[in-house]
Amino acid sequence: MPRCFWCTDDPLYQAYHDQEWGTPQRDPALLFEMLLLEGFQAGLSWITVLRKRERYRQVMHGFDAAALAHMTDERIEELMQDAGIIRNRLKLKAARRNAQAWLAVDNPGEWLWSFVGGEPKINHFKGR
């Protein structure tokens, strides 16, 4: 399979490229997971987040928005000691706030898709 220039020979990166990247997603749970992972990625490479994704699933209740919306400051401090995740207090607090905001929207997956009229946008770039 041809891959984009940014996809390295890392099997985790290749699996992400081949199975997830560029695939329109409508599952609200996965959309929420990607929202949080993108927040954790800020300032870092995506492969760093992919390598920590499974640990995030374990410590963040499978990215359950309702559980994360009630994450306490004490729990955030516990997570700050977990070397398996990106230990950034502001990003962890943002995950909690994003969960609260997610829950405040009626049908957040549909709301996200409303920005593009419910259809994926296909760009045909001439080069990178």
Catalytic sites, residue numbers: 16, 38, 46
Query: DSSP string covering 34-87, please?
Result: HHHHHHHHTTS-HHHHHHHHHHHHHHTGGG-HHHHHT--HHHHHHHTT-TTS--
**d(C-alpha 64, C-alpha 32), whole Å:** 8
